[in-house]
Structure formats: structure tokens, C-alpha cells
Chains A and B, each alone.
Chain A
């Protein structure tokens, strides 16, 4: 529902427009009713209430922290439980009176205080267990509050806790595999709730968590080496592409599919760019290229090919783009395996050209379909690639100032080229 001051402003403006003869008087009540029924985009009252609740939370925690040492154990329990009940109590009263802005704000405060209570009780009574377990329970508490209050802010907080728990579980001193199956279940559960609440911010957080989950899972379960690994990087990229295509295939059923596809596509492009560093290094240990890696890669390529075929048959993707994605993924996966010195340079050049081609395709696709996100991704990828090629080619030949001068001119030239291309496409579209 729109804020009252927005409705008042609209009413005042409508009266002026009716007086000026721009809007028929008969439409006045219909326009106001329509505006009242609309959901507010950014609700200033809600933002202020949530910020206020967060500050109250900080005030409570600072007060408790400064007096903590002087309190007995039972007194600490009473303080923590009272704070929890106060926050949820105010939220319940606000929900009862249908002032949902305050219900969400104090519900969020209560969810935060529940986590603080878990940690502080564990500290006070020297309770030690598998450490991320506390965050897991916190997540369940916060998610329950989000569902009860139908609150987007608390749902966003829950999604952050799910991601935090997953990373803590992977980072733990003693390995635990709960997150392998539990995190995907959380992702589905939170994603389903986010689709009911229409919370795009939650979907974005989930997508980022999935991006972190994939390489962490591959390292923990299959013992791939982290960071710039010639085996882990392309495999992660192939998983990102698979998730993007799967989401595209099911986009009618998935809320926020565009955000998920966007995050996966950007990450796959970044991985594609980073694979060049492995190619340039050329030191991939042959002994680490296992049957397991080949199996994973082939399964993913078959999956990607199947999804691309499905999308092409459904006319949701052009055949040229589908072939480009399949070729690009296969090149990304197998290029680092080429160890023969004579073939390394041609492979690097072929890879670089393919990367340029994909970036240009994204640029043109963004310009023709007026999707600024695609234009930006393609443009940034193209610029990064141009700088990389330039750096690799001239880093030892030019002195520093000349190096940056030529680099700057190169990027300006590319931007002018893109500008001309954009104009040309627009003229063609007009004619």
C-alpha cells in the first residue's frame, strides 16, 4: 500500500490537473483507488523504522557489553530473554494493529537478538558444540519469523544467515558434510518463500550464495585446489552455465530468474577471463587431471548441450548463440589441458579471440534488445580483455608512461567504436 503522504500529494496534483482540464473529473476516484492499491516501491517510513530498530539493537548490545562482566549468569539470561520478548512482543502488537512497518522492524530486531542470545548463552555457560550449528538454529528462528510476519527484511536477513552458515560449515576446522545437502534444500526453501513474497533482494543473495557454494563444494568433496586452478575454475564456470540455462528453461516457474541468470552469466564470464591466466601460466600438473575431472566435465557438457537444444527448440535462444555457448564452455574446460609448448600460444590466441567474440556478441545483443545489463557486461568484458591482451603483449616492451598512454588510447578508441556501432544499430532499427 502507498504511503498516505504520497496519496495526499497525488490527490492535490490531480485536483490541479482536473482544474487545468488535463484529466477528466470522472477518473479522479479511480486513479486514487488504483494508487492506493499499488504496492509502495521504497517505503521511507519502513526504511526509517528498520534503521531505528537496528540502532536500538546496537544500543542494547552496547549497554549489555559494557555491564556484562558485573552481571551474574542468571541475570544475563533474564536480560537476553527480556530483550528477545520485548522485540517480538512489540512486533506482535504492531502486527495485531496492522502496522506492519513496525512489525517488520521489531521482528528483524527480535531475529537478530535471538542469534545474539545463542552466542551469549554459549559464552556465558561455556557451551561448545560444532560451531556453525548456532548459526543454523539462528537461521531457522529468523526464517520462521519472516514467514509468520510475511516480512521481506527478515527474509533477506535469513538468506544472509543461510549463506553465512554454509561458508562457516565449509571453513570449519573439522569437516562436516551437512551443508552438501542441507544448503541446496535451504536455497530451494528460501527461494520459494522469496517468490511468494516477491523479494528480489533475497533472490540476489541466494544467487551469490550459490556462486560461493559451487567452488567450495568442489574443493571440499573432490579435493580440487582452490584459486586459479586449471581444473577447478572451468568446472565451476561450467556449473554456473548449467545453473543459468536450467533457470532459463524453467523461468516461467522461477521468480527472479533474470537475477539468477545474470549472476551466473557474469560469473561464468569472469571465470572464462581468469582461465586465460592458467593458460598463460601453462604449468598445470598433468597428474592432477583425473578420470573424475573428465567425468564431471563431460557430464556437465552433455547437460549444457541438452539444455541448449531444449531452449533452441522452444525458440528461447538463437541457434548461433547456443553453439557459441557450447563451444565457449568446451574451450574453457579443455584449453588449460593443452600442455605442448608449440600449441600453447595458438590455443591462447584462439581462446582470446573466442572471449572477444562472446563479449562483442553480448554488446550487440544488449544494444539491439535495449538491455543495458547485457551491454555493460559485454563492454566491461571487452575492455578487460583488451587491457589483458595489451598487457601481455607490451608489458616488457614499453616504459611505464608509454604503456599507460597507449592503454588509455586503446580503451578510448574501443569506446568510440562501440558508440559508432550503437548509432549504426539505432539507425538501422529506425529505417
Chain B
């Protein structure tokens, strides 16, 4: 019985270690990656936040393959790499969409294809998930954030690691940066 008790305490330590690792790993990814700031798009207010989180949509979430230097034959679940460059206004915009990790020094973000749409007008759209789709906030803050997104006053600040994985670093509201801290 003593063995069981001690094993259970050891398990508690392992589980606690895992929970602390979750926080540490996220903090490391948030602090060390390259910064990418994206505009946020307003979405249908009825589904804007479920519970107390805001749905994040950026121009990178739905892309027309014909507009960029793109690979073909994307299917649901495929990894996708979107290469980015800054335009005249200093905003990050897509340049190329590929199935494999780009071999350049530029900025790119990695996601997974959530769906492929082929309308009748010859265009080919892909919907992409980057694991940055939710921003948790309490109920009142979520409502305020929803209003800011509708007024186009909010941008999302991401941290991108060497493999193109993104985590949310914070928000930019009315030009003011609000970086998440521990």
C-alpha cells in the first residue's frame, strides 16, 4: 500500500511537471520566435465568440491559390507553408503557398489545410488552420474585443518559430501593443 501511495505522489509530480512544461514551452515559443503582425477580419457576430473566447480570422485563413505562386493539388489535412513579405504599407502579405517548407530566409507560417473550395469561376480557394484561431478572454473583454475587430482597430501579434509554427504573442489595439505575460 505504501508503494501505491508513493507511486501516486510520483504520478502527481509527473502530471504537475507536464502542466508546467505546457506553460514553459508556450512561453518559450512566444518569446523567441520572429514577430508577425496580421490584420484581423470581422466574422459573423453570432459565432464570433463561443463561451469566452474570440474567433481569430486573418487574411491568411482563406487564400486564392491562383493569386500566388502556389503548388497544386492541396487536400484536406495537408501541411501548407505560406511565404510572406511586407507590402508598401508595411503589412505582411502572402507571396507563395507550398506543400513543403520553403528553403529561403524569409518569413513563412505553417498551417494545415482545413478545406478546399473550387467555385465555378476557375478560382481555387483553400481554408487553413494555424492553431491561432481562438483568443481566450473573460466575458466582458471578449465583447470589447469583438467590437474592436468590427471597427478594424485590432491586429494580432504572432510569434513564429524556425519551422513556421505560430503562437499568439498578443494583440495590437488602436496601435497599442498588449503582449501576453506569465
Given the known inter-chain contacts A95-B4, A174-B129, please indicate yes or no for A118 contacting B19, CB distance below 8 A: yes
A163 at interface (Cβ–Cβ under 8 A)?
A: no
A29 at interface (Cβ–Cβ under 8 A)?
A: no
Give the complex CA separation of A158 and B86 in angstroms: 49
Q: Could you say which of A126-134, A233-241, A339-347, A382-390 contacts chain B?
A: A126-134
A218 at interface (Cβ–Cβ under 8 A)?
A: no
Please state if B180 and A175 are interface contacts (CB–CB under 8 Å).
no
Given the known inter-chain contacts A74-B182, A144-B11, A174-B112, please indicate yes or no for A137 contacting B4, CB distance below 8 A: no
Please state if B22 and A93 are interface contacts (CB–CB under 8 Å).
no
A96 at interface (Cβ–Cβ under 8 A)?
A: yes
Give the complex CA separation of A95 and B10 in angstroms: 14
Q: What's the tally of chain B residues with a CB closer than 8 Å to chain A? A: 39
B18 at interface (Cβ–Cβ under 8 A)?
A: yes
Please state if B22 and A127 are interface contacts (CB–CB under 8 Å).
yes
Contacts of A296 in B (CB 8 A): none
Please state if B8 and A148 are interface contacts (CB–CB under 8 Å).
yes
Contacts of B132 in A (CB 8 A): 128
Give the complex CA separation of A126 and B134 in angstroms: 8
Return the CB mask of B1-33 against A: 1 if under 8 Å, else 0. 110111111011011101100110011000000
Contacts of A176 in B (CB 8 A): 77
Given the known inter-chain contacts A84-B15, A174-B129, A175-B77, please indicate yes or no for A107 contacting B182, CB distance below 8 A: no
- Quote the shortest CB–CB distance from A111 to chain B (angstroms): 9
Given the known inter-chain contacts A95-B5, A96-B2, A121-B19, please indicate yes or no for A84 contacting B12, CB distance below 8 A: yes
Contacts of A92 in B (CB 8 A): 4-6, 8-9, 12
- Quote the shortest CB–CB distance from A293 to chain B (angstroms): 21
Main secondary structure of the interface of A (DSSP, over half): helix
Give the complex CA separation of A95 and B18 in angstroms: 24
Return the CB mask of B63-95 against A: 1 if under 8 Å, else 0. 000000000000011000000000000000000
B125 at interface (Cβ–Cβ under 8 A)?
A: no
Give the complex CA separation of A98 and B15 in angstroms: 24
Please state if A127 and B26 are interface contacts (CB–CB under 8 Å).
yes
Please state if B4 and A129 are interface contacts (CB–CB under 8 Å).
no
Contacts of B22 in A (CB 8 A): 118, 121-122, 125, 127
Given the known inter-chain contacts A117-B19, A148-B8, please indicate yes or no for A125 contacting B180, CB distance below 8 A: yes
B44 at interface (Cβ–Cβ under 8 A)?
A: no
Please state if A174 and B114 are interface contacts (CB–CB under 8 Å).
yes
Give the complex CA separation of A77 and B136 in angstroms: 16
Please state if A130 and B131 are interface contacts (CB–CB under 8 Å).
yes
B41 at interface (Cβ–Cβ under 8 A)?
A: no
Please state if B133 and A88 are interface contacts (CB–CB under 8 Å).
no
Please state if A174 and B16 are interface contacts (CB–CB under 8 Å).
no
Contacts of A173 in B (CB 8 A): 114, 129
Give the complex CA separation of A150 and B8 in angstroms: 11
Q: Which of B1, B77, B112, B129 has the most CB of A within 10 A?
A: B1
> For window 122-172 of chain A, which residues contact chain B by CB distance below 8 Å?
122-130, 137, 141, 144-145, 148-150
B138 at interface (Cβ–Cβ under 8 A)?
A: yes
Contacts of B77 in A (CB 8 A): 174-176
Please state if B180 and A126 are interface contacts (CB–CB under 8 Å).
yes
Contacts of B167 in A (CB 8 A): 126-128
Contacts of A110 in B (CB 8 A): 12
Contacts of B26 in A (CB 8 A): 125-127
Return the CB mask of B129-156 against A: 1 if under 8 Å, else 0. 1011111101100000000000000000
Please state if B8 and A114 are interface contacts (CB–CB under 8 Å).
no
Q: Across the interface, name the chain A residue whose C-beta is closest to B51.
A: A123
Contacts of B8 in A (CB 8 A): 88, 91-92, 95, 107, 145, 148-149
Of the residues A84, A107, A124, A148, contact of B16 by C-beta under 8 Å:
A84
- Quote the shortest CB–CB distance from A57 to chain B (angstroms): 16
Contacts of A8 in B (CB 8 A): none
Of the residues B16, B18, B53, B138, contact of A69 by C-beta under 8 Å:
B138
Contacts of A145 in B (CB 8 A): 8, 11
A89 at interface (Cβ–Cβ under 8 A)?
A: yes
Contacts of A118 in B (CB 8 A): 19, 22
Please state if A149 and B18 are interface contacts (CB–CB under 8 Å).
no
**B residues whose Cβ falls under 8 Å from a Cβ of A:** 1-2, 4-9, 11-12, 14-16, 18-19, 22-23, 26-27, 53, 76-77, 112-114, 129, 131-136, 138-139, 167-168, 180-182
Other than the known A92-B6, A103-B4, A174-B113, what 18 A-B pairs have Cβ atoms closer than 8 Å?
A: A69-B139, A80-B19, A84-B19, A88-B12, A95-B5, A96-B1, A96-B2, A97-B1, A118-B19, A121-B19, A126-B167, A127-B167, A144-B11, A145-B8, A145-B11, A148-B11, A173-B129, A174-B114
Q: List 7 A-B contacts (CB under 8 A).
A: A84-B19, A85-B12, A110-B12, A126-B134, A126-B135, A128-B168, A175-B76
**A residues whose Cβ falls under 8 Å from a Cβ of B:** 68-69, 73-74, 77, 80-81, 84-85, 88-89, 91-93, 95-98, 103, 107, 110, 114, 117-118, 121-130, 137, 141, 144-145, 148-150, 173-176
